[in-house]
């Protein structure tokens, strides 16, 4: 990453009054209020509680009265006085006291102001506090206030200096506890009720986990909540801003009404790095408009076993594809200037080889997720690490280790090391060998899995091991205070060196300076109206259309004619939650109206006049020209999506009922609908809406057109666009489609490579005016020649198509063309 220019240090919120309303500050910077019992407890009085002021200016503290009724029945008098904070009375400010009054009949919510004069200092200094205590005999006082005189005229606040100098100056002023605070990340829900802890610990970061939202789940509600947390961080003496993070893995999935893209596996099918960069730029814009400058994306895993519950988070099964599109995603998220209102810090995850773990080694009840990668160093270097190398070149700002473990076959199996403890790969490969200069953020309680396990995690040993292995910031959603206390003690005891702490903190602060947070820590809401806009949905719609992979098209069943009578069936035809998948609305996602968008059925209905829908295909099919069956998977995330893994039952939408067991085969009900509709209607089109291939070998012969639709997100119109020929099918398989659910692990490069459809496969509906490259012409011609309508693609042709696609991804077009020509001649 490079140093980015910023603006002068003003620390003023946008569209927020001078006195900002949130809950009480840390008790250590407040004077306790010795108020007599309120005469009327139904009337409450509150202050700010934080008022920022420039050195030498006058601070304004707002006092608000609220009653159960619309107006006050009786007058309310509030006494106030300044107390002893870190500022010195009559040197840094003018001590004072007084009274504010609210007459009977005053409307509830009325505000009065108190002014506190500060005195200009001759030299630069850190922030100072002036507590303002309230007391009333007529009402209950719920919060006092604190005036914060902003830090000023110090080198780290000078945006004209290089970031490196600003970081060094700031680190030199920090105490050990302040440094460890910067390395500590808490979850929103665990600080919202007591935000004073942000100030007490000097927390460096807060996140929202999947489904963790403010009560007001709107762009304004998010920005207000995050600004409230930011106030608490800025009430510390050094005023180091928070960096807030969220899993915007296919859009700002926690935000109601956000634009949701296809998951990465669908983007992998587009083969279009420019489209991926543009799409992630859109996501960055929507994310930052809510006050969030950091996303835990993209996932750079190279998925080698589709039974893994995170398959859809991968761009595909080959490192060349993940490398090209992963770098494009990083560039889209971060842009050219991180301090832009349309940029967010990207996170390359999950380092490394989380998509290459061995089935049966998963953590707990998981079968694949968080398991053990049993590979040689050479194999990991060639398959799993390349996407991280390109992400580093693209300037990715943070990296997240995997929950999984690495067990090198070079020295024999049996000694796996958790990635959160892997010095060789984090300090070695990532930081030393490849010069990664960003910071490493742990996964959600990731260090708790470092052996030996303990009930009071994170233990000191777990913390010390991970810090010394190179992890810089720790996602400790609920145990952040324990983490903070134990890391401070570990440094004091010599288990972690001060130099290692300074390195970690310097990396974190560098990102904050580059994001422009020291110049503008509060939410930039200028793009809030773009969230879910027609322009943004058009980007997603194109991504959906380009992600659709046409696997089979007998008798030119596609494109459809909008004059045809169309019979639509299947549980995924009219279900926004199913087509969006996991990480939408909640961590696991859920079926139904998870957010705003267009279902596939709605897209079809908008394109054709005569559409009949029967989810279970129970309605008569008589008279229909075409049957469109939309089946596949229901939402899941991580280990709960592992084939053979545990079944989720804890979203409100589940009502305690476990979701269906995950499988590589079509669910029995889906298979029945496919068989029924394809038997009764002459032309039968089947769409598979899923996060990974669904084995459909037995039904293939009865299907005229088969489409891999992946998890398209909110814009179902994009599916209709290619079905009706508004756009051509151009998508290509980002992974190999297996023949059998009993033996589903098949990857390009296997010696016995024999998928139903190979990596890179994708038919088209192009017309005579479609301009194709010489390479694409040969690929499409070969596909038409070799496809067996009941048995898929023969092994020799599958090998050639897959190898040619890899060669093309690696920039070896001549080799790709030669492979296709040779296969066509055989």
Catalytic machinery residues: 443, 638
Rounded-to-integer distance, Cα 506 and Cα 169, Å: 10
Torsion 526-528-534-540 (CA) sign: positive
Q: Among residues 267, 287, 397, which one has the least CA distance to residue 341?
A: 287
Q: Exposed, middle or buried, 198 (CB in 10 Å: 0-12/13-18/19+)?
A: buried
Contacts of 494 (CB under 8 A, 6+ apart): none
Residue with tokens 């669908």: 266
Helix (H, G, I), strand (E, B) or coil at 87: coil
Rounded CA-CA distance 346/38 in Å is 51
DSSP string for 366-391: -SSTT-EE---HHHHHHHTSHHHHHH
Query: Which one, of 269, 435, 408, 281, lies nearest residue 343 by Cα?
Result: 281
Angle at 207 between CA 204 and CA 209, to 5 degrees: 160
333: left (phi over 0), alpha (psi -120 to 50) or beta: alpha
Q: Which residues in 275-307 are b (16+ Cβ under 10 Å) and which e?
A: bbbebbbbbbbbbbbbbbbbbbbbbbbbbbbbb
DSSP string, 572-618: TSS-HHHHH-SSBSBSS--SS--SS-B-HHHHHHHH-SEEEEETTS-
Element (H or E) spanning 692, and its range?
none
Give φ, ψ of 50 to 5 degrees. -120, 130
Instruction: Give Cα 766 distance to the centre of its chain.
Output: 35
Token readout for 664 is 């590589």
Cα-based torsion angle of the residue sequence 795, 312, 262, 650 in order, rounded to the nearest 10 degrees? 140
CB 17 within 8 A of CB 136: no
Residues 205, 752: Cα–Cα separation, whole Å: 49
Contacts of 680 (CB under 8 A, 6+ apart): 621, 627
Question: Which two tokens mark 402?
Answer: 């995997």
Tokens of 202: 């000097």
**Spatial separation of the C-alpha atoms in residues 120 and 131, rounded to whole Å:** 18
Q: Is 526 exposed, middle or buried (0-12, 13-18, 19+ CB in 10 A)?
A: middle
How many other CB atoms are found less than 10 A from the CB of residue 781? 12
Using only C-alpha atoms, the chain has a radius of gyration, in whole angstroms, of 29
Instruction: Report the 10 Å Cβ neighbour count for 654.
Output: 15
Contact 661, 647 (CB under 8 A): yes
């Amino acid at each position: 990453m490079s140093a980015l220019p910023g603006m002068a240090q003003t620390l003023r919120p946008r569209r927020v009054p001078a006195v900002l309303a949130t809950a009480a500050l840390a008790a250590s910077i407040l004077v306790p209020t010795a108020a007599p019992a309120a005469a009327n407890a139904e009337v409450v009085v509150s202050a700010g509680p934080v008022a920022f002021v420039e050195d030498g200016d006058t601070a304004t503290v707002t006092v608000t009265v609220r009653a159960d009724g619309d107006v006050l029945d009786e007058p309310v008098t509030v006494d106030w006085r300044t107390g002893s904070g870190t500022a010195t009375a009559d040197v840094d400010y003018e001590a004072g006291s007084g009274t504010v009054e609210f007459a009977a009949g005053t409307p509830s919510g009325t505000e009065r102001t108190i002014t506190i004069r500060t005195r200009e200092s001759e030299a630069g200094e850190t922030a100072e506090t002036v507590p303002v205590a309230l007391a009333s005999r007529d009402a209950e006082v719920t919060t006092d206030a604190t005036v914060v005189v902003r830090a000023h005229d110090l080198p780290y606040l000078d945006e004209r200096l290089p970031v490196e100098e600003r970081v060094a100056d700031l680190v030199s002023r920090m105490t050990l506890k302040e440094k460890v605070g910067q390395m500590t990340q808490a979850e929103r829900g665990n600080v919202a009720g007591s935000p004073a802890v942000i100030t007490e610990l000097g927390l460096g970061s807060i996140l929202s986990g999947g489904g963790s939202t403010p009560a007001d789940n709107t762009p304004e509600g998010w920005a207000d909540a995050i600004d409230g947390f930011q106030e608490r961080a800025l009430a510390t003496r050094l005023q180091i801003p928070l960096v807030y993070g969220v899993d915007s893995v296919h859009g700002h999935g926690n935000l109601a009404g956000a634009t949701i893209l296809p998951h990465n596996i669908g983007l992998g099918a587009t083969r279009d790095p420019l489209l991926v960069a543009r799409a992630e730029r859109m996501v960055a814009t929507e994310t930052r408009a809510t006050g969030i400058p950091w996303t835990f994306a993209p996932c750079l895993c190279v998925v080698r076993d589709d039974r893994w519950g995170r398959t859809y988070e991968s761009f595909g099964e080959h490192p060349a594809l993940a490398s090209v599109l992963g770098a494009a995603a990083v560039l889209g998220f971060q842009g050219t200037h991180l301090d832009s209102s349309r940029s967010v810090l990207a996170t390359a995850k999950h380092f490394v080889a989380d998509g290459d773990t061995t089935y049966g080694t998963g953590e707990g009840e998981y079968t694949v997720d968080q398991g053990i990668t049993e590979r040689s160093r050479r194999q990991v270097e060639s398959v799993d690490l390349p996407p991280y190398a390109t992400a580093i070149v693209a300037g990715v700002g943070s990296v997240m280790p995997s929950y999984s473990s690495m067990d090198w076959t070079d020295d024999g199996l049996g000694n796996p090391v958790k990635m959160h403890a892997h010095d060789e790969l984090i300090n070695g490969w990532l930081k030393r060998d490849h010069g990664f200069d960003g910071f490493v953020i742990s996964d959600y309680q990731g260090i708790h899995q470092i052996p030996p396990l303990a009930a009071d995690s994170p233990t000191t040993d777990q913390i010390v091991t991970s810090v010394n292995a190179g992890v810089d910031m720790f996602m400790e959603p609920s145990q952040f205070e324990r983490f903070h206390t134990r890391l401070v003690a570990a440094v004091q005891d010599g288990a972690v060196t001060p130099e290692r702490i300074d390195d970690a903190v310097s990396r974190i602060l560098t990102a904050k300076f580059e994001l422009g947070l020291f110049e503008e820590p509060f939410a930039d809401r200028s793009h809030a109206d773009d969230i879910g806009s027609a322009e943004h949905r058009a980007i997603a719609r194109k991504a959906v259309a380009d992600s659709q992979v046409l696997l089979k098209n007998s008798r030119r069943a596609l494109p459809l004619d909008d004059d045809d009578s169309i019979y639509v069936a299947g549980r995924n035809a009219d279900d926004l939650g199913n087509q969006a998948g996991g990480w939408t609305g909640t961590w696991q996602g859920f079926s139904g109206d998870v957010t705003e968008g267009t279902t596939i059925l709605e897209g079809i209905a908008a394109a054709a006049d005569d559409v009949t829908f029967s989810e279970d295909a129970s309605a008569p099919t008589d008279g229909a020209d075409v049957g469109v069956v939309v089946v596949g998977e229901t939402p899941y995330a991580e280990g709960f999506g592992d084939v053979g893994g545990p079944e989720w039952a804890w979203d409100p939408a589940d009502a305690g009922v476990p979701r269906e067991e995950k499988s590589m085969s079509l669910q029995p009900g889906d298979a029945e609908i496919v068989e029924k509709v394809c038997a009764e209607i002459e032309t039968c089109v089947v769409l598979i809406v899923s996060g990974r291939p669904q084995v459909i070998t037995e039904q293939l012969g009865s299907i005229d057109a088969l489409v891999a639709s992946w998890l398209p997100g909110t814009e179902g119109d994009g599916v209709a666009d290619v079905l009706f020929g508004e756009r051509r099918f151009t998508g290509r398989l980002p992974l190999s489609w297996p023949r059998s659910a009993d033996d589903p692990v098949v990857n390009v490069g296997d010696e016995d490579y024999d998928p139903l459809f190979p990596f890179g496969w994708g038919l088209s509906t192009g017309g005579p005016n479609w301009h194709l490259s010489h390479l694409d012409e040969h690929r499409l011609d070969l596909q038409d020649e070799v496809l067996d309508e009941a048995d898929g693609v023969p092994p020799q042709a599958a090998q050639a198509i897959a190898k040619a696609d890899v060669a093309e991804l690696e920039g070896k077009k001549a080799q790709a063309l030669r492979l296709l020509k040779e296969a066509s001649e055989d």
